[in-house]
Amino acid sequence: MHTVWKGAISFGLVHVPVKMFTATEDKDVHLRMIHKECGTPISNVRTCPHCEKEVQWEEISRGYEHEKGRFVLFEPEEIDAIKPENTRTIQILDFVDLTEIDPLYYQKAYYLSPDQAGSGAYNLLLEAMRQSGKIGIAKIAIRSKSSLAAIRAVDNCICMETMHYPDEIRSLQLVPNLPEQTTVNDKELTMAKMLIEQLSTPFDPTKYTDDYRIALQEAIQRKISGEGTDIVTAPAAERTNVIDLMAALQASLEAVKPAAPAAADAGGDRGKAKTRSTRGRKKEEAVP
């Protein structure tokens, strides 16, 4: 697992060095938009509708629309000046009962593991929360964003779940057509409760699967294996930058060289593949 954050949990005078790992992963099958005519993936381009031209990143500012069509602009240094200080500390403010927190508040889950020589303090906090049945409510700054978080014991691991602030939870009063009073038939209620009881079982997350994702993956495999005909190959992109020009010249020189032994050819192919792979990574990193 990739470490996404390093810091410490702080409660009272106890300091627990930890590493943070993302507890969940996106398993959605992502489909790209393809130009039917030629099979080329469509790119998202930043354009200005007023100037009718593409806009580069260095020409862009951040702005807040305080009235329709009127924006308050901020330069990057102004945003940096008001960002929360990255203290690298998960500061526990209070301990509460888990049942007191509505699941509406939860956002994203992370696993925390002991870092360096912090296993003693880590085990102490883990066992104390486990035996007390309490969870910690903390504040943390991740990627310059201040978040509320719940710190709790999950088996032999301390888990952190970022939370919404109270003013981010919409009021139930905004939901239309909610009943003012719940009036039901007593016999129907008894039968409904019996049905709930019959369907009640211990929670087993392995029973539940994403049927759409599985069906889509199967459909993709059928098309790849030849059962479908909707497979296209994108045409090679035009090479116009200096790096690609140098690569094309190098490839041309290699093509006119006398034939070399098989082992040498294999080594050259590996070298060219590595060059192409490195160039591809650089291009991807350059995309904002």
How do residues 56-79 score in pLDDT, each as one tens digit? Answer: 888 888 888 888 888 888 888 887
Distance CA(104)–CA(96), nearest Å, equals 16
Is the confidence at residue 134, as pLDDT, over 90? yes
Distance spanning both ends of the chain, measured CA to CA? 25
Q: For residues 220 and 109, which has the higher predicted lDDT (pLDDT)?
A: 109
User: Residue 74 has what pLDDT?
Assistant: 86
Strand segments (E) across the chain: 3-11, 14-22, 47-48, 53-54, 62-67, 70-74, 89-97, 106-114, 134-142, 145-154, 157-163
Look at residue 71 and tell me if it is in a domain. Answer: no
Of 74-78, 164-168, 268-272, minimum mean pLDDT range: 268-272
| pLDDT band at residue 288 under the 50/70/90 scheme | very low
- Can you tell me whether residue 9 is helix, strand or coil? strand
**Residue 281 is assigned to a structural domain of this protein:** yes
* pLDDT cut 70: percent of the chain above it: 77
**pLDDT at residue 278, rounded to an integer:** 44
- Give the up-direction half-sphere exposure of residue 138: CA atoms within 13 A in the CB hemisphere: 24
pLDDT-based confidence at residue 35 (cuts at 50, 70, 90): confident
Q: What stretch of H or E contains 118?
A: none
Contacts of 265 (CB under 8 A, 6+ apart): 259
How many structural domains comprise the chain? 2
CATH code, domain carrying 148: 2.40.290.10
- Same domain assignment for residues 14 and 125: yes
Candidate from 14-23, 87-96, 141-150 with smallest mean pLDDT? 141-150
Rounded distance, CA 102 to CA 269, Å?
58
How many CB atoms sit inside 10 A of residue 134's CB?
A: 17
User: Do 247 and 153 sit in the same domain of this protein?
Assistant: no
Is 112 a member of any domain?
Answer: yes
Q: Is residue 125 within 8 Å of residue 10, measured between CB atoms? A: no
- Checking if the pLDDT of 16 tops 50, the result is yes
Is the predicted pLDDT of residue 132 greater than 90, yes or no?
yes
Q: Identify the residue with better confidence: 79 or 40.
A: 40
Q: Are residues 137 and 276 in the same domain?
A: no
Specify the range with the lowest mean pLDDT, choosing from 86-95, 141-150, 237-246: 237-246
d(CA 53, CA 47): 6
Q: What is the mean pLDDT of residues 162-172?
A: 92
Q: What residue numbers bound the domain in which 277 lies? A: 242-286
The string of pLDDT tens digits covering residues 274-286 is 444 444 444 444 4
